[in-house]
Structure 1
Amino acid sequence: MLKKIVLILLLTFSLFATEVTKDQNSSKTYELEIRGVKHLDKEDIAKSLGVKENSLFNFWSREKALPQEFVENLDTTLKGYLESKGYFDAKYTISRTADRILINISEGEPIRVSKVLFESDIELGNLISWKEGDIFATERFEKIKDATATKLLQDGYCKAELSTKAYVDLAQHSAKIEYKIKKGKVCLFAKATIVHKPDDVSDDVILSRVKYHEGERFDIRKIEQSYNSLNALGVKKNVMVGKVAYNRCIQNPLCIDFSHRSAIIRKQ
């Protein structure tokens, strides 16, 4: 019998992938009760399904208020949540009455990490935290990938190559995880230039809000700090201190552009 193999290159699970249009004239809610789970957290499940933290129900109650607008996609959302936690074989039933929803979950056997391959020419500390036997939660896989990419950008490696893969064997309930990283050359900030500048703000004032200097080692946090500082100027237009073309930021002028509604530091 052929094995079911899933290759996960980039998984971005959204608990609310479907756009919801709320009927403002309706405040209908359902009492939600979740049964059967042994390892997963009921509160986390309820929140993922749409239960609000400021539910009118007492926090110690088994029941939570689920708004009407989330009920239609309840099955899809619950399935996505369980898979994001590593429970691809989970079974569940959803029972619904006029004002109550009961979900009964049997978690089943989770996917567990059987092997971790890590190849890198840079020390990343404990960012790659997988161990054999860990439950393979796709949301954790994505968070580790994002944290690794962010760390590289914070340390000046804007041309780093990051490859992440997960080979999931559904039949064997196992996952082989692969991380390959090449840091590349260190990036340096270039001289910033200004375009579409407001008439009532001088270059000196604008540049005083930029949190990096020419020749400094690249750090994505200084881009974000510059964005916040420039948008605090109080000019009529918002500034887009853009998400820099990271892989081209060496010896290329960066541009602070006031023409956009939200400034991007962009490559000229």
Structure 2
Amino acid sequence: MALCLSLSGYAQENAEIRKIKIKGNEAFDDGELLEKISFNEASWIGKLIFKQEPSFYSSEAWEMNKAQLKAFYQSEGYLHVQIEEPELEMHPRKYKVDILIRIREGKPVRVGEVSFSTVKGGVQDSLLVNEKWQKEKSQLATREGARFRDEDVNSDQDAVSSWFSSLGYAYVDVQHDISLFQDTLTADVDWDVDKGPFCRFGELTIEGLERTPERAIRKQMTIAPGDVYSSRQLSQSQKQIYELGLFRIASLQAGLTNRQRDSIPLKLTIEEAPRWAARFGVGYGREDKFRTFVDVGLLNFPGPVMRTNFYAKHSSLEPYRFEAKVTKPAILGPRSSLEFKPMIRRRNERGFDSFIWGGDLSLHQNFSDYLTGSISLYFERVDIDITSEFERSLRDLHQSTYSKNGVSLGLLYYTANPRFDPTDGWSLGINTRANSSFFDSAYPFFKYLFEVKRYQPVRSGFVLAMRLKAGSIRPWGSGVVTPFEERFFAGGSQSVRGWPRQMLGPLDEEDVPIGGNSVLEGSIEPRIKIFGPLSMVVFMDFGNVWRDENTFKPDEVRFAAGSGIRVSTPIGPVGIDFARPVFDDDNKWQFHLNIGHAF
């Protein structure tokens, strides 16, 4: 008896859709096209665990989905796309249907000539011939020879409007005229810019302030009454007001009117955040076991434009950690802040048990939306118990209680987005630390660590994540060895996952990790969406730790491979990983359970 009945163009109405296949699509993958239609596949796992709602086939629903596909293709430049009637395969016993959609894409329309005009009275506007405009124009998406896309035209319209409105033309109106040539499948785009009157900023009124002094708000503004109107400076001012960290809402609006006055008043509407706020969380990981934290924030304390946070954490790796952080924003300018952070913590690692108290004073500067830097002065008092008898016997590592002091520098370039589950962008960071910069200590050293991460979208639902980390620490001056807790260790859920935490690298005769002065790590990890919030990863990690400083030996790099499952949540992905060493005598599997990606 046949289990399936193949039909063409006909199926019983309201049958549940089991699978959807698409053929003939070359410009867009199946996943991207399925996101554009209302039909969806719903497996029994998705329905049972993730409460996915199934789709049901009907001729009327098909016509709607066909129109959605056609509209998407045409918006992407494929004006002559043809979508054939679906081929339907019924499963009578389950009353389900498989759908095969065949597409003939045809050739796309290409952009022909692109022109701009603000001509009035036969005089060409000088703004369209200056160097700044030429640079702005070169960044537009709609350029000669490119595939014509509605989205590119709309984004270019916003970009051109933004450019003119940032030069004082608050009422600029940008329109486009598209001329399609069917014989050559090209489209010319003619932009017409009506600048309107030249404008300046008027007075600023502020509403909603209760605890925050008005002068603190005005210091964050990049504009003043009488300045040339600029929509970009308006957005930057609003962003800098938010960076004070004191407000739930900060809406800065320009008073544009139909009368197009050349003086634009501004209105800032503020809703201050609650003075007290608290966060609490619990979790479990393979390495830190049960963990919990509490974070309490207090605004406008100890001063009127200051923030204070009290943080406490407990886990197997950190039996206790207490921190206070006092932040003074806008210390040297609108985008800088000063932080003082005293702390007490205990670490319980496989190779050592330490108790540390101290603090640091840090100056942070946002150079742009993507680039931040910091400089910190720190002092720490360390009491450490080293597990390895061999390390304890070393004459040069003779102190178990000592102080550290110095200066550290950090620089971070970050464009990855979204933050908790990146699908695109870069992260490049470098941190340095010079111990004994101010006072003599038992172990003077210089330490640096560089890390780069790349998140590359390959296709819809498929991201290739990569990282590379390298660092070293070396004694300087009278130093001979480096303090144990500052050394590099590798292995674990956020390192080379084929080894347990800190177990990749130098070990003593009893297999106790003793760390090293150089580290190299890297990962290649394709992340593939399965359905709903569920995704899978496969990965290859590599790395090692060496005893000597600035030592990176390629022939001693070790490798691990594995795979894992991720479930997206509002706080980021939750997942499990299985990994084991490869090209190695050690082949024991490791299991990791964590919140968040490995990197």
Please indicate the TM-score interval, normalised by the length of the shorter structure: 0.5 to 0.7
Q: Which residue of 2 aligns with 1:22?
A: none
**Match for residue 89 of structure 1 among 80, 88, 91:** 80
Selected match of 2:204 from 168, 187, 192:
192
What is the CA deviation profile of residues 136-157 of structure 1, one whole-angstrom value per residue up to 9, with x for unaligned ones? 2222222221222222233443
The answer as to 2:17 corresponding to 1:44 is: no
More helix by share: 1
Shift of 1:169: 5.3
Q: Is residue 158–residue 218 contact of structure 1 (8 Å, CA) maintained in 2?
A: yes
Distance in 1 separating the partners of 2:33 and 2:179: 26
Helix, strand or coil: the match of 2:190?
Answer: strand
- Name the CA shift for 1:100/1:241 in 2 (closer, same or farther; >3 Å): farther
For residue 216 of structure 1, the aligned residue among 227, 233, 258 is 227
Report how far residue 83 of structure 1 moved. Answer: 0.7
Structure 1 equivalent of residue 154 of structure 2? 142
Aligned partner of 1:32 in structure 2 is: 20
Shift of 1:82: 0.5
- Contact 1:113/1:174 (8 A) holds in 2: yes
Amino acid at match of 1:104: R
Greater Rg by CA:
2
Q: CA RMSD for the aligned pairs?
A: 3.9
Give the 5 Å matches for 1:1-268. 30-49=18-37, 68=54, 72=61, 73-93=64-84, 94-96=86-88, 98=96, 100-120=98-118, 121=125, 122=128, 123=133, 124-128=136-140, 130-131=142-143, 133-168=145-180, 173-183=185-195, 186-195=198-207, 197-230=208-241, 232-234=245-247, 238-242=249-253, 244-245=255-256, 248=260, 250-258=262-270
The count of residues paired between Structure 1 and Structure 2 equals 219
Q: Structure 1 or 2: larger strand share?
A: 2
Q: Deviations over 1:58-99 (max 9, x none)?
A: xxxxxxxx9746984422321111110111211113345525
The verdict on how the C-alpha distance between 1:202 and 1:74 changes in structure 2, with shifts beyond 3 A counting, is same
SS in 2 for 1:125: helix
Percent sequence identity is 21
Would the aligned equivalents of 1:33 and 1:103 in 2 still touch at CA under 8 Å?
A: yes
Code of the residue aligned with 2:251 in structure 1: it is M
CA contact (8 A) 1:50 1:67 kept: no
Residue 42 (structure 1) shift:
4.2
**Higher RCO (CA 8 Å, separation ≥ 6 residues):** 1
Q: Is the 8 A contact 1:30 1:67 kept in 2?
A: no
Native 8 Å contact 2:18 2:98 kept in 1: yes
Give the letter aligned to residue 101 of structure 2: I
2:508 maps to which residue? none
In the aligned structure 1, how far is the partner of 2:20 from the partner of 2:114?
Answer: 39
- Contact 1:190/1:249, CA 8 A, preserved across alignment: no
2:72 partner SS? helix
Question: C-alpha displacement at 1:133, in angstroms?
Answer: 4.8
5+ residue gaps, structure 1, are 1-27, 58-65, 260-268
In structure 1, C-alpha distance between the alignment counterparts of 2:19 and 2:261, rounded to whole Å: 53
* C-alpha contact (below 8 Å) 1:34/1:105 kept by paired residues: yes
Structure 2: stretches of 5+ with no match in the other structure: 1-15, 46-51, 90-95, 119-124, 272-599
1:237-266 CA-partner distances (Å, limit 9, x unpaired): x3432365288474232222348xxxxxxx
Distance in 1 separating the partners of 2:174 and 2:224: 27
Q: Is the 8 A contact 1:127 1:148 kept in 2?
A: no
Aligned counterparts of 2:55 and 2:98: Cα–Cα separation in 1: 14
TM-score by length of 1: 0.63
Q: TM-score, normalised by structure 2?
A: 0.31
Kept after mapping to 1: 8 A contact 2:251/2:270: yes
Q: How big is the shift at 1:180?
A: 1.8
How much does 1:107 deviate?
A: 0.7
